[in-house]
Amino acid sequence: MANDSKDRQLIELKDTIKELNSTIKNLNQLIDAANKREEEHAKREKILQEQIDYLTKKLYGKSSEKRKDDFEGQLSLFDEQFGIFNEAEAEQSPSNPFEHDYITVEKHTRKKKTTMAEKFADFPVQKIYLDVDEDKRICGVCGTPLERIGEEFVRREIEIIKPGVKILEYYSITYGCPKCRIEAISPYIVKGRDGRFRMMHGMASAATVAWVMYQKYVNSLPLYRQEQDFKRLYGIDISRGDIANWIIKNAEQAFAPLCDYFQRRLVAGRYAMADETPVQVLKEPGRKAQTKSYMWVFRTGEFDKEQIVLFHYSPTRAGETAKDFLEGFHGYLMTDGYSGYNKLKDCTRTSCWAHVRRYLIDAVPKGKEYDYTQPAVQGLAYINKLFDMERTIHAKKGVSFDAIKKYRNEKEAPVLKAFFEWVDAQTALSGSRLDKALTYIKNRKPFLATYLEDGGCSFSNNTSERSCKSFVTGRKNWMFSDTPAGADASSLVYSIVETAKANGVDIYNYLKYLLMNIPSTQPTDEELERLCPWNPECQEALEKMHQKDLEKIFND
């Protein structure tokens, strides 16, 4: 009996131990799960706090991308005394950027401020004399009549002359031969003509159509406000529907052939840049009014002598749009990181370093902009060094593309190599801003180094983004296009406006010049070339129009 009792106790103890072990195991699993949840919550909290800091910085922080990396009392990332990189520098290969001598950008010198007289030196001047009343031109001492002995400058004023409206009625004078009228089978008659190829689709003149286009696409003035201005300033009632009709029909007839020619020249070139931005079109067939459409921007290279900027409306952001528009292009294409451009297989892609810098700027923790222990700040130091080098080489006058290529491969390539080695060595919290930045860089690594192949390639896509900015500014005012026809017309007018701007010609006069001189029949490439803003014949005509405008102001 004693043995049986001890055996039962032993069995009970073993069962108890087994239960306790099972309980301990379950408790350990619960603790592990709780620790894991705590860790996930900590990561989530960190990401959310990072998001709060990011949005706060976007809302209240400065929007400029300019950054001063070197300031008094702060060690530079590229200073050999900065301890964080001592070990890395010691093990760095010959491509280590810290072992090279770099050309530093000279400090910016402020341009001398121009005087008002210098700003308006090219404008006509009308002298207004402040004369003495005739009855006061007598000497107050002896009564002798006074003589004019000179003049003295008093002040200079700028007078803005309000535009006016007048109606022009054209009459064709007819001439006939009196002899042929009697003797010939049919009379000989000639009529006076003004050389104009076509009408402006209504009573509007070329100057009027150019003006409403200039107001909307340069000054971002919506049509309803132009309608109000016509009534308030000029006392005439012109509806926005009539104005829209002028823009759409004239853009389609006058600008479409030239934009097609610009596109052929762009595709035949060596360098191109592209970007896209949303636009809302209310009455697209089969789509809701709230559906997002896109305005694409394609332009020639940043350093091309003859600049072309083309806008293209598309209902979607599909990469097929860029592929179809640039069909036949075999040069270097600079874009941002949008994956839709991957559909272009016949060209060499280059990617924008400004976008890389923005991702890293967004990854810098709040208040840590100059803390070089932060990985994002370290990455920015590499990229800012590359931007400094680009500014240095392009600041030199008359530098050739071959010289730029040589400089880039000798000076920038080592920094680029070290930057990618730095990227590969980084680890980041999944889903964090730094993780997104590193992923963005790794996915575009094949395209980021392409600019080294050709000195004519751009380092960033900022030029095409600036071209797109005018459209974005206008969109904030007029907000949407009513129909696809309106969006297409906007793309045509914006193309002409931005191309004129990029080539430094008078935008309003260029619009008017094209409306007056575009052939009504299908023009040849030779005729279209003469209408391009870089063509000497076109530039001479625009200069004459400018001088005529100045004379008109003076005469008025």
For residue 168, the model assigns a pLDDT of 77
Burial environment of residue 236 by CB neighbours within 10 A (0 to 12, 13 to 18, 19 or more)? exposed
pLDDT band at 66 (very low <50, low <70, confident <90, very high): low
pLDDT at 196 over 70: no
Distance CA 523, CA 197 (A): 12
| 319 belongs to a structural domain | yes
Nearest in space to 457 (alpha carbons), one of 297, 276, 303, 265:
303
For residue 104, the model assigns a pLDDT of 46
Cβ distance 193 to 183 under 8 Å? no
pLDDT band at 63 (very low <50, low <70, confident <90, very high): low
Distance CA 18, CA 156 (A): 104
Domain hosting 383: range is: 269-470
| 43 belongs to a structural domain | no
Lowest-confidence segment of 164-173, 357-366, 534-543 by average pLDDT: 164-173
Distance CA 378, CA 381 (A): 5
pLDDT at 90 over 80: no
Strands 348-351 and 332-335: parallel
SS (H, E, C) 482-539: CCHHHHHHHHHHHHHHHHHHHCCCCHHHHHHHHHHHCCCCCCCHHHHHHCCCCCHHHH
For residue 105, the model assigns a pLDDT of 45
| 200 belongs to a structural domain | no
pLDDT at 253 over 70: yes
Digit-coded pLDDT (tens) for 310-360: 999 998 888 899 999 999 999 999 998 888 888 888 899 999 999 999 999
| 228 belongs to a structural domain | no
For residue 71, the model assigns a pLDDT of 43
| 161 belongs to a structural domain | no
| 397 belongs to a structural domain | yes
Domain total for the chain? 1
Lowest-confidence segment of 86-95, 275-284, 534-543 by average pLDDT: 86-95
For residue 164, the model assigns a pLDDT of 73
For residue 554, the model assigns a pLDDT of 63
For residue 83, the model assigns a pLDDT of 36
Distance CA 127, CA 203 (A): 38
| 37 belongs to a structural domain | no
**Backbone φ, ψ for residue 314 (5° rounding):** -145, 140
| 184 belongs to a structural domain | no
For residue 232, the model assigns a pLDDT of 87
For residue 82, the model assigns a pLDDT of 34
